Amino acid sequence: MTTQTEQSSIPAVPAQMQGSHHWIMTLELPGRLTSSLYGTWTPPTGATRCDVFTAIKNHITSANPDLAGANTMFFALEPNQL
């Protein structure tokens, strides 16, 4: 039996071109669809976590109107640094 290992290189986006925060959101239309999305974003000065949540969800649902009535199953927002 032969095993092959494939290496793939995911092109890195320079940190200065990314947002200050990384987010993940999972939306669900029960019995129809579950969608997990992610990205980076730099919130405006003074924005709250609620502001960011609302802005991201509105962005997602404006691009995907079918998700407008979806339940939020998961939301994470963290500084985009290690």
* Residue-wise pLDDT tens digits, 12-67: 777 778 999 999 999 999 999 999 999 999 999 999 999 999 999 999 999 999 99
Q: What is the pLDDT of residue 77?
A: 97
**Residue 51, domain member (yes or no):** yes
**Residue 44, domain member (yes or no):** yes
Q: Number of structural domains, the chain?
A: 1
pLDDT exceeds cutoff 60 at 6: no
Distance of alpha carbon 5 from the chain centroid: 29
**Residue 72, domain member (yes or no):** yes
**Residue 30, domain member (yes or no):** yes
**Residue 13, domain member (yes or no):** no
Q: What is the pLDDT of residue 45?
A: 96
| Structural domain boundaries, residue 68 | 19-79
For the beta carbon of residue 23, count every other beta carbon within 10 angstroms.
Answer: 20
pTM across the whole model: 0.79
Q: How far is 67 from 82, CA to CA, in rounded Å?
A: 32
**Residue 9, domain member (yes or no):** no
Q: What is the pLDDT of residue 31?
A: 93
